[in-house]
Amino acid sequence: MVFRIGVRTAGPVGVALFLVLALAGGFAAQRRLAPPMRPLDAGGLALVVAICLALAFARRRPAWTLAATAVLTAAYAAAFYPYGPVCFATTVAMYQLAIQVPAGRAALACGATFAGLVGASVFAAPGDLGAAAIAWALCLAVPLGVGTTVKLRRAADLAQERLLLAREVHDVVAHGLAAISMQAGAALHVFERQPETARQALAAIRDTSGEALAELRGALNGVRDGAGLAGLPALVERLGRGGMAVRVRSSGAAPPLRRDVDHAAYRIVQESLTNVARHAGAESATVTLAYRPDGVAITVADDGTAVAHLYGHGLAGMRERAASVGGRLEAGPHDDGGFRVHAWLPR
């Protein structure tokens, strides 16, 4: 934890804590020194301070920090000063380098640092080549492996986060535009004959666009827990204002769903109805929610043109949403000529 504080903050507190550890360990090691090792003097203390201060640049200049700590540590070892926590400065620097640069460059830096430190250690104790090689290999190879793993995990998490954000934006924008398009079409259809109805459709466009903007803002801010099946009535109302009849049926006692499952369920229904509005040319759709103790089954069926659903990326996105929470999704034409989406999401 001390090492991590020093590296992450690169501030005086982290450096000071590491310096205290290094000095305490160095003085403690002096009690069992054997020639040619010698106790810490002014030169040794200066090297310890310099090594610790170099860690202040670990995040901003990882390569420079590794080189500086390695050279200073090699000088410390070659001068026959006692080993101690100060030697782990290169471990901290190696980890910080591994999480910031490509793996090949980090491995080359690790090899060069290993050679230099082993050489300095053998100069101080010629008969301890094997022990020195093992010790420095552990001090450098372990942080290299851990740092590389952390970097790859962060990259994977970032890619997943971007995918989730893109999916959120797609769902919000696609649904909002589909609802607005339907409402605008209704307004144009009755503009001359029923101006009051047209005015209501324009008001619905205003409300729908405001809701879509609010949802988009929430998605961009990383707030993804606001939309769940509790928001289904408002979703149906928006589509109804555009002229599409949506019926919702439910059966069973609704179990408490995990937040991400509830959100995925809402988005699957939203995307299914958006596809109906945009592609199917349907007049009505039915949403069926079948609650079971272990999850919920969702079915969205329409009376439109089944083949229209096969275009675009909506179906792939819904399958990914279902899979992300351990569920599954199937979609295709049904016997009545329309299209049906069926998903099972575990509780």
Q: How confident is the prediction along the chain (347 residues), in pLDDT tens digits per residue?
A: 333 433 343 456 566 666 666 666 665 665 665 566 677 788 878 888 888 888 888 888 899 999 998 999 888 888 887 777 778 888 888 999 999 989 899 999 999 999 888 888 777 776 677 777 888 888 899 999 999 999 998 888 878 777 777 777 777 776 677 777 777 777 777 777 877 777 777 777 777 777 777 767 766 665 444 578 888 888 888 777 767 788 899 988 877 888 888 988 988 998 888 888 776 566 788 999 999 988 899 999 887 765 555 545 578 888 888 888 889 999 888 777 778 899 999 97
Query: Omega of the bond prior to 82 within 30 degrees of 0, cis?
Result: no
Q: What is the pLDDT of residue 149?
A: 92
Q: What is the pLDDT of residue 5?
A: 37
Residue 304 CA to residue 320 CA, distance in Å, equals 24
**What would the two tokens of residue 305 be?**
């043109």
**What would the two tokens of residue 128 be?**
């301890």
Q: Is 97 helix (H, G, I), strand (E, B) or coil?
A: helix
Residue 133 CA to residue 118 CA, distance in Å, equals 6
Q: What is the pLDDT of residue 13?
A: 59
Following CA atoms 59, 63, 65, 71 in sequence, which dihedral angle do they give, to the nearest 10 degrees? 170
Residue 201 CA to residue 23 CA, distance in Å, equals 76
Give Cβ neighbours of residue 125 (< 8 Å, ≥ 6 apart). 132
Q: What is the pLDDT of residue 345?
A: 93
* Other residues' Cβ atoms within 10 Å of the Cβ of residue 38: 14
Look at the chain and count its residues.
347
Q: What is the pLDDT of residue 144?
A: 93
Residue 181 CA to residue 83 CA, distance in Å, equals 73
**Category of 329 on φ-ψ map: left (φ > 0), alpha (ψ -120 to 50) or beta:** beta
Residue 106 in contact with residue 20, Cβ under 8 Å?
Answer: no
Name the nearest CA neighbour of 270 among 252, 250, 246, 294.
246
* Residue-range domains of the chain with CATH: 2-126 (no CATH), 158-346 (3.30.565.10)
**What would the two tokens of residue 347 be?**
């509780």
Specify the pairing of strand 339-346 against strand 295-302: antiparallel
The pTM (predicted TM-score) of the whole model is 0.56
Helices (H), the chain: 2-9, 12-29, 42-54, 62-78, 89-98, 103-124, 129-190, 195-220, 232-241, 259-275, 314-324
